[in-house]
Structure 1
């Protein structure tokens, strides 16, 4: 559980730093008001990083997810997928603020971003596999306790 809390904290710090960085970078390059992916980087770190891991922390406290293999798969694949996704979002944002069209610069940018989203999806599926098994285990335990008391 401590690892989940530390992960949420790390994403909170990344989210706050990326928001501050975007604001200062846009002011320094005189691109304030230019719509780019860099402007929403902090939101992705805070929502998909910090909030998701705080929710997973609560689920782990209730269902003891962290000892499961599928939970380990979730943890690592989700983190890798999120980092790949936000790195490509940052690359796309920098290109936009530098006056380039990211879609015509390189086809690798959307391809790698798509790969990050696929890895995120694999992580979320693994989370639901762990959660489903934990809920089923808990339900079996509750039904066994109720049959003993009856």
Structure 2
């Protein structure tokens, strides 16, 4: 559970830092008010990072998820997928603010971003498998208590 809390904390730091970076970068490049992928980066890090891991922390407290193999797959795959996704979001935003078209600069940008999204999808499936197992174990433990009572 401590690892989940530390992960949420790391994402709040990254989210706040990315908001600060956006503000300072747009001031430095005189592009204040320009809408790009960069200005939503901090929101993605805060919601998909911090909020998600705080929610998972609560689910772990109720359903004891951390000892499950599917939960370990979720944890690492989700983190890798999120980092890849937001990194490509940052690259795309910076290129746009520099006056370049990210779609014509490199075909790798959307491809790598797509890979990040695919990893997030795999991770969410693994989370649901861990939840299914946790709920099943909790229900069976409750049934055993009812029989012994």
Using the size of structure 1 for normalisation, the TM-score is: 0.97
1:45 alignment partner in structure 2: 45
Distance in 1, matches of 2:15 and 2:141, equals: 40
1:83 alignment partner in structure 2: 83
Deviations 1:17-73, CA, capped at 9 Å, x for gaps = 000110011011000011100000000100000000000011111111001111100
Give 1:147 shift.
2.3
Give 1:144 shift.
1.7
Count of matched residue positions in the alignment of Structure 1 and Structure 2:
149
Distance in 2, matches of 1:2 and 1:143, equals: 30
Distance in 2, matches of 1:115 and 1:33, equals: 30
1:15 alignment partner in structure 2: 15
1:116 alignment partner in structure 2: 116
1:136 alignment partner in structure 2: 136
Structure 2: stretches of 5+ with no match in the other structure: none
Give 1:146 shift.
1.4
Give 1:148 shift.
2.5
Structure 1: stretches of 5+ with no match in the other structure: none
